[in-house]
Amino acid sequence: MQQKTTSFKNIIESMAFTQELKFSDLTKLLEAVSNTKAVKKRDSYMKEYFDKILKFKADYVKKNPQADSSLFPVIRLILSQEEKERSYGLQEKSLRQLYIKALNLHKTSADAIKITNCSDDRLPNIVNDIMKMRTSDGTLSIHEVDRTLSLFSDNQKLSFQENELRRLILQSNAIDQKWLCKMILKKMNLQLGTTKVLKFFHPKGHELFLKYNHLSRVVELIESGKSEEAMIDVTEVFRPIRSMLCQRFTSSLNKDFLRKEIYQETKMDGERFQLHMKNGEYRYYSRNSHEFSEGFNTFLTPLIKFSTVVHSIILDGEMLVYDTQQSRYFTKGETPVDVKNIKDKSSKFRPCFCAFDILLYNDKSYMNRPYTERCQLLQQLFEDRIGVMVKTKPIRIRDVDHMLDLFNAAVEEQEEGIVLKDAQSIYKPGDRQGGWYKVKADYFDGDVVKEFDCVIIGGFYENLNSRNFIHKYLVGAVEKIDEDCMNVFAVGEVSQGVTAQERIKINESLKPHLVEHLGESEVSFNRGKIFFGKKKPHCWIPPDKSIVLECKASELVRTSEQYTSYTFRFPRITNIRRDKLWEESDTLKQFQEMCQENDGRVKKIVMRNVNKDDLIAAPQKKRRTLRSNREIIEGFCRNSEDDEMEVIDNVFDGKEFCVMTTTPKLPSLKQMKKIIKQHGGNITEFPRKGKTFAIIAGSLTRNVNAYMKDKCYNVIDAKWLVNNFGEKGEKTLKDMPSIRPLLDLHFATDEMKESLRNIYDDYGDSYNEEIKTVDELKLLLESMKSENIENDLSEMNFKDLDKEFESFGLKNNFFRNMSAGFFASDNDNVLFHSAKSIFKFRGGNISSFDTENELKIIFIDKDEGIKKIKENISKHLSHGTVLVDYRWILNSNDVGKLLDKYRNKING
């Protein structure tokens, strides 16, 4: 009898609602969600799924009241990236091996090679492709998959996992395996956030997750009917709570903000940890709620002494490394050991817990009490013991000046910054807007923190097997050897700060020039050498073919990996300086000066104290710079609107365009692309030889110029597009509008020239159409190169013409008072000639080299080598002659005014 009862109980226990749910239904949903671009549609798929299974569950529970009806297995599969309890010991590399074995593939078979060589992010898709050939129907239940993943976690022996995976393969289809692969790797990339998914599961799901940061806890609270109660507070010891975060301090806050009661605390620079203690048992949880009790219980717990009244407590704080010999703390950037990983008992390093908040005391939650009350309590419960456990000392802020003094003093003390806390703020788990603010020097714009302009000299691939996507750039500082030679030195790596689209664009520009790095310490390029440090990039790039990045960092830290002995901490790209030549990057000397020895400590790169003006001016300025650069990039972002765009005529007949630059007066890049598509054209993000009909350029940036030099692409002025189709592309046309050589084309390929031959003469004068404006006439005259016509041109009274045609807005003769010579040995340098024409067209006077007169200004092409140029024109040079790179004319023309005096000046 006894026997019978037990086995019946087992049957009941093993009955689970998720046995009724097909895994292939779930993977079908995940596939549909991840393939859908429209956000609303994605949401509706997920919502529909949850509505359906919740209803199904309600019916099931009625019939099987004793069975396990939890939806946790479903949720933890969909949100595998949040999985904390299970780890499978499988990364992309080992998972490849596992699949090869489970599928019984021979190492040299085509499928095995595909699995081995694909990039990490492609692995699930490759598994999908291979499985298509061999799968059965998907008959697995969610329960079965979830259970197997638990087994994977409990037993990480490869032979065991191989058998289990094979069992699953036999019962699944290709899509099932694709998603299983993603679940094991915990990289779902579902395009649907965790909180959103949880919202579909339960209206309080996402809020509870924000608070508790733990899937199983959230599901448990909801399914046990405790969601309302939990929203208020169910803080328990040994249940980690999501950390409250800090908002960045910006000037927009300061008016009202500093009128409140605000406290300042030191911003400690270690690792965020929670200390939980109950009746002498201690546990420690990281910011992501992972437990790291073992090490801390060995090295820290035995030294901690709470007041005897404390039976249970949860403290929030920062774990720092303390050097017991030197009696000093290490910041995160300079610490020689990982605070979570101190294992050696004889080590001079010890973890020290710096508490700044208390969330629970003697089983009573304090999370909903104001900051000041929590702080008061915290001060009473233990004595500070340096190097073991200490607490912050909040200071009440009197006014803005007081706040700035405290901040500047903190920076002076080499601290990371300060934290400001609203006296009334309660502890809001996971919240960044709850009344805590972090102030750091690099949040201020411009010259508070040094901005580095560094040229990209190398790259690190995301995946070494495929070597097709650089995710991190090695950047360098320059050192001039002589006029023609400049070396570059590796100073740091930078990855953050650009969007995925921007990174794609940078990578595409670098791609044609990348050279595989074979471990050399130095490599040569045609203007000098690059010197690397110990860490070698996967590929290098000649600086003269590269891009300058403007980077900011929070500080400079010691490194043994770069050429320089210091490198950036928390570097991020703040700008892509397409306007800057690689030689204009920061110099090695400048960099080394920043790194002057200072007690062996981290180098703050704060240039000066922050003052009240910085609080007002900075953010606006910053936004502007970013916007202008973002706009250049914006056009490379695919937009879901594009898919829904209506084509109103087909005058472009599938012709491919690359919209590259715009100006403030022209429509945005996005808008221009839309215009092209509306008229039947195609867009490419990068010009393709033989395929791209034309580049559309609003301004002749360095990038556009580089494409013109290639001589493979027509470059059409963006105004052509707007003039013919309207600002919004609204005008319907029957035929492709004519492209006028003088007015619309910056560069024409031979093919284009040939096709225009029947319509325009050699100077670009139309056989059919009359000249309509002075602008046109001037350009036409410019294009005529014969002696007579040149003379005619110089004799024309442009002043009168200007007056006469003021109504046309032709007042931009900004080179009017300048006389200059032009020297370039390369006669085919299209850009140089176009700069010369623009100079003349905008009123400049071109001095001749015929006489032996000395010229004051000579425009040259710097790329031809200064030494060589100087030899060629030595007799025209005097002490006062200034050599200026011709790009200054192009750049001035682009912005419609003279740029600061000779930005591209070479000497003088």
Ligand X SMILES: Nc1ncnc2c1ncn2[C@@H]1O[C@H](COP(=O)(O)OP(=O)(O)OP(=O)(O)O)[C@@H](O)[C@H]1O
Which residues are at the interface with ligand X (CB under 6 A)? 243, 245-246, 265, 267-268, 272, 318, 356, 392, 419, 436, 438
> Minimum distance from CB of 416 to ligand X (Å)?
7
Strand segments (E) across 101-216: none
> Minimum distance from CB of 579 to ligand X (Å)?
30
Cβ nearer to ligand X, comparing 142 with 411: 411
Cβ nearer to ligand X, comparing 377 with 818: 377
In the chain, what's the furthest Cα-to-Cα distance?
A: 121
Q: For residue 454, what are its two tokens?
A: 């560094």
505 CB-near residues (< 8 Å, 6+ apart): 633, 636, 685
Cβ nearer to ligand X, comparing 417 with 681: 417
C-beta separation of 882 from 907 below 8 A:
yes
Cβ nearer to ligand X, comparing 47 with 438: 438
The three-state secondary structure class of 664 is coil
> Minimum distance from CB of 436 to ligand X (Å)?
6
Beta-bridged to residue 905, according to DSSP, are: 884
Other CB atoms within 10 A of residue 645 CB: 13
Q: For residue 667, what are its two tokens?
A: 């429509």
> Minimum distance from CB of 327 to ligand X (Å)?
21
Cβ nearer to ligand X, comparing 230 with 268: 268
b/e 704-726 (16+ beta carbons within 10 angstroms → b) = bbebbeeebbbbbbbebbbebbe
Q: For residue 397, what are its two tokens?
A: 């802020």
The three-state secondary structure class of 470 is strand
Cβ nearer to ligand X, comparing 247 with 738: 247
> Minimum distance from CB of 421 to ligand X (Å)?
7
Nearest to 288, CA basis, from 332, 248, 241: 241
Residue nearest to ligand X (CB): 245
CA triple 545-548-551, angle to 5 deg? 155
Cβ nearer to ligand X, comparing 312 with 425: 425
> Minimum distance from CB of 687 to ligand X (Å)?
39
Q: For residue 624, what are its two tokens?
A: 């502007």
Beta-carbon-side half-sphere exposure of residue 195 (alpha carbons within 13 Å):
10
Question: In terms of DSSP H, where are the helices of 213-348?
Answer: 215-223, 227-232, 251-257, 293-299
> Minimum distance from CB of 502 to ligand X (Å)?
22
Count the helix, strand and coil residues of the chain and give each as a percent rounded to the nearest 5. 40, 20, 40
- What's the rounded Cα separation, in Å, for the pair 38 and 604? 45
Cβ nearer to ligand X, comparing 217 with 267: 267
Cβ nearer to ligand X, comparing 333 with 667: 333
> Minimum distance from CB of 237 to ligand X (Å)?
21
> Minimum distance from CB of 671 to ligand X (Å)?
36
C-beta separation of 405 from 412 below 8 A:
no
> Minimum distance from CB of 440 to ligand X (Å)?
6
> Minimum distance from CB of 815 to ligand X (Å)?
48
> Minimum distance from CB of 119 to ligand X (Å)?
29
Look at the chain and count its residues. Answer: 908
- What's the rounded Cα separation, in Å, for the pair 746 and 837? 12
Cβ nearer to ligand X, comparing 261 with 520: 261
Cβ nearer to ligand X, comparing 243 with 893: 243
C-beta separation of 388 from 596 below 8 A:
no
C-beta separation of 533 from 565 below 8 A:
no
- What's the rounded Cα separation, in Å, for the pair 191 and 33? 8
Strand segments (E) across 559-599: 566-569, 572-577
> Minimum distance from CB of 456 to ligand X (Å)?
25
Beta-bridged to residue 397, according to DSSP, are: none
Cβ nearer to ligand X, comparing 57 with 391: 391
Q: What is the enclosing helix (H) or strand (E) of 631?
A: helix 612-634
Nearest to 43, CA basis, from 179, 199, 153, 172: 199
> Minimum distance from CB of 462 to ligand X (Å)?
23
Strand order in the sheet with 247-248: 247-248, 436-439, 418-422, 262-266, 395-396
Cβ nearer to ligand X, comparing 86 with 402: 402
Cβ nearer to ligand X, comparing 233 with 265: 265
Q: If phi over 0 gives left and psi between -120 and 50 gives alpha, with beta otherwise, what is residue 280? A: left
